[in-house]
Amino acid sequence: MKVTFLGTSHGVPGADRYCTSLLLEAGGYYYILDGGAPVGDLLCRMGIGMEKIRAVFNTHAHGDHFLGLLSFIDLVNWYFGDTEMTVFVPREIQVQFIKDMSLVTENRPLSERITVKKFEVGTVYEDELISVTAERTDHLRGGDDFFSYAFTVTEKA
């Protein structure tokens, strides 16, 4: 598995650092961990075929981990019609927010090619290449569903 750090900033982008985002590559497919800005732009500049992106995993809803994901989803929804992906978020309000965003920006429902799911602790995702599990962290706590998560990604042999 190849890991590329797209952004490593602590929340405020700098001239040489973008907000938090990782790109994982396994078996010719891609997976994104967190969507700090400008994740979509960086993928385009890298020549990543959007149709090769299978899933996105969001650790928490702070802007530096989530807001770049919104523009990326909007771009895939509008332009990259061959992309089918699942977006995993920790809060139900984020699921609805993403769906509402499509109505606001495109005046149409989010494409069926893009599935948005709330995840829980435990196994979040599994395909023939990787498995992803989530566990809560102490980064933030604030209410019944306002938590941060860490992901363990295991490449299958």
Q: Which of 16, 34, 41, 64 is catalytic?
A: 64
C-alpha 87/C-alpha 28 separation (Å) is 19
> Residue 102 corresponds to which tokens in the numbers above?
């499509």
E-strand ranges in 12-121 read 21-26, 29-33, 53-57, 85-89, 114-118
Examine the residue annotation and report whether 64 is marked as an active-site residue of this protein: yes
Closest by CA to 146, choosing from 108, 106, 91, 109, is 91
Catalytic positions are 64
